[in-house]
Amino acid sequence: MSHTDVLKAAGLTEAELKGGSMAVNSPIDGAEVAKVRETAAAEMPKIIARSQEAFRAWRQVPAPRRGELVRLLGEELRSAKAELGAVVTLEAGKITSEGLGEVQEMIDICDFAVGLSRQIYGLTIASERPGHRMMETWHPLGPCAIITAFNFPVAVYAWNAALALVCGDPVIWKPSEKTPLTALATQKIMDRALKRFGDAPEGLCQLVIGGPAIGEALVNSKDVPIVSATGSTRMGGIVGPKVSARWGRPILELGGNNAMIVAPSADLDMAVRAIVFSAVGTAGQRCTSLRRLIAHNSVKDELVAKLTKAYATLPVGDPRAQGTLVGPLIDVAAKDRMQAMLGQAASEGGAVHGGKVVTAGVPGGAYVAPAIVEMPSQTDTVRTETFAPILYVLGYDTLEEAIAIQNDVPQGLSSCIFTLNMREAESFLSAAGSDCGIANVNIGPSGAEIGGAFGGEKETGGGRESGSDAWRGYMRRQTNTINYSDALPLAQGVKFDI
């Protein structure tokens, strides 16, 4: 199928594909596939006002009824899965099964949110005063801006939108300027769900297209109480303080520098499979991609030998082709950054295996062979997230040392240990173990399920999205004390008789 056919099959019209000046290129071959219309900065106040108006109506709709909209969205996504998955592949360069997997993740979070719409509950708390009752009530908070990164062009939107909508919050989505087409295609799917739902307020789910300047209009508006921003630590460092300074609520999902500890007792074959998937899957462009392998010195050489053998056979190429496991990087700049970081690692004493630019047998675009780099120590290059398939390997002797290396980076997203030793596994998960938001045993750091809360600590931003009780981030908590007695006792025994 040609690029145009993929986009048309997803419902995008000629006017949408050619009606603007913002160029969109496919990482598959570097070709320009569309020129979309950017939202003008002057339009933003109206868009935000429309969202506020939608909020006033939507917050009054009972949560289970709000869940019905998300149920319909899940249905529409199910029937459009192949078409939307193909646009993810076209625009983000993911291999076919990962493109489809991303849409499945949207469906999964819709299912989760539908159930949640009947489970938004608070606590009942014992009051110290006779004839009194205390409880917590959760209320909608207001418009939620969703700023997303290129590498999960649609799933991260769904993590946020499905929760925000059942929580009673309208959404305004600003996708990455590198992936507006997946967003336009998703908005069409959302529009179908809204139409079937019938009486949702206008402006409940809006989409704005553009770069940082359009994002900033949302970040700076007091009328947008929640800003969920996914992207680089650099972006979060700008967005987080701005939202906080105006007393908004930032939900930050930023960069990771994820590690795996491989202990002496590990099942090495299983570890190798997990390492290869998490280090080279999505061409190393997941926030949870494995970037640091911390291997016990007694198994390190054997592990590196197995990995270099596995890496040598990895099919790199057109992500649409059957059998391809490593598709392109998002653009030439990403390829150049990877090459520069490999050069820097080598100058710090790193032994580089692989990592070369691939030009033969690919349709254009920025293709690379994944790299393994044996490092003498954890240098600043290793501490930096490079959004490409580079796996740094470090050795260790004691578990304490391994955990110290694992934690000695600015980011705190995902981590894991491969061990068959229960003491090691539990130590890794304990308060003195991994400092990350995600810590796994005998599975890699990437590929989280939607049932758990997703996010990380330190420079990863501290936000939580997706499952568990992440929904609370989209609501305001109200503590209620109800006096059903005929007296007015004060708390803490205070007397104030008049």
**What sections of 355-421 are H helices per DSSP?**
380-383, 399-407
Active-site annotation holds for 253? yes
Choice from 85, 153, 256, 355 touching ligand NAD (CB under 6 A): 256
Q: Exactly one of 110, 144, 287, 436 is catalytic; name it.
A: 287
| Residues 53 and 36 sit within 8 Å (Cβ to Cβ) | no
Residue nearer to ligand NAD on the CB measure, 207 or 266: 207
409-419 per-residue burial string, b: 16 or more CB within 10 A, e: under 16: bebbbbbbbbb
Paired sense of beta strands 465-466 and 453-454, if any: antiparallel
- What single-letter DSSP state applies at residue 329? B
- Is 211 an interacting residue with respect to ligand NAD (CB under 6 A)? yes
112 binds ligand NAD (CB under 6 A): no
Hey, what amino acid is at 372? I
* Rounded Cα–Cα distance for residues 274 and 316 (Å): 18
Strand (E) or helix (H) holding 172: strand 171-174
Residue range at the interface with ligand NAD (CB under 6 A); choices 130-138, 210-218, 395-403, 486-494: 210-218
Which x/- pattern over 272-291 shows residues binding ligand NAD (rule: CB under 6 A)? ---------------x----
Q: Does 232 sit near ligand NAD (CB under 6 A)?
A: yes
CB of 200 to ligand NAD, least distance (A): 25
Shorter beta-carbon distance to ligand NAD: residue 263 or 413 = 413
Quick one: which of 153, 215, 354, 445 contacts ligand NAD (CB under 6 A)? 215
- Binding segment toward ligand NAD, per CB under 6 A, in 28-36, 230-238, 318-326, 339-347: 230-238
Taking each helix axis from N to C end, the angle separating 63-79 and 155-167, rounded to the nearest 10 degrees, works out to 160
395 contributes a contact to ligand NAD by CB under 6 A: no
Residue 231 binds to ligand NAD (criterion: CB under 6 A): yes
Which of these ranges, 199-207, 254-262, 364-372, 485-493, lies near ligand NAD under the rule CB under 6 A? Answer: 254-262
Contacts of 175 (CB under 8 A, 6+ apart): 148, 153, 157, 182, 183, 207, 209
The single residue among 107, 181, 239, 399 that binds ligand NAD, judged by CB under 6 A, is 239
- Asked if 460 touches ligand NAD (CB under 6 A), the answer is yes
157 near ligand NAD (CB under 6 A): no
Residue 79's Cβ-side half-sphere holds a number of Cα atoms within 13 Å equal to 11
Q: Which of 112, 138, 150, 396 binds ligand NAD (CB under 6 A)?
A: 150
Residue 142 touching ligand NAD (CB under 6 A): no
- Minimum Å distance from CB 137 to ligand NAD? 29
Report the Cα–Cα distance between both ends of the chain, in Å, rounded: 82
Nearer CB in complex with ligand NAD: 117/160: 160
* Cα separation values, 425 from 272, 404, 478, Å: 18, 15, 39
Least spacing, CB of residue 234 vs ligand NAD, in Å: 6
Q: What string of DSSP letters covers 114-149?
A: HHHTT-----EE--SSTTEEEEEEEEE---EEEE--
Provide the pairing of β-strand 411-412 with 351-354: unpaired
Site for ligand NAD in 166-195 (CB under 6 A): 174, 176-177
Among residues 216, 253, 385, 459, the one annotated as catalytic is: 253
Q: Which stretch binds ligand NAD (CB under 6 A): 164-172, 228-236, 269-277, 399-407?
A: 228-236
Q: In angstroms, give the least distance from the CB of 337 to ligand NAD.
A: 11
**Are the C-beta atoms of 77 and 84 separated by less than 8 Å?**
yes
Report how far apart, in Å, the C-alpha atoms of 73 and of each of 90, 207, 366, 405 are: 23, 16, 34, 43
- The answer to whether 283 and 328 have CB atoms below 8 angstroms apart is yes
| Interface with ligand NAD (CB under 6 A), residue from 149, 243, 275, 325 | 149
Among all residues, which ones are annotated catalytic?
A: 253, 287
* Residues binding ligand NAD (CB under 6 A): 147-152, 156, 174, 176-177, 211-212, 215-216, 219, 230-232, 235, 238-239, 253-256, 287, 385, 387, 413, 460
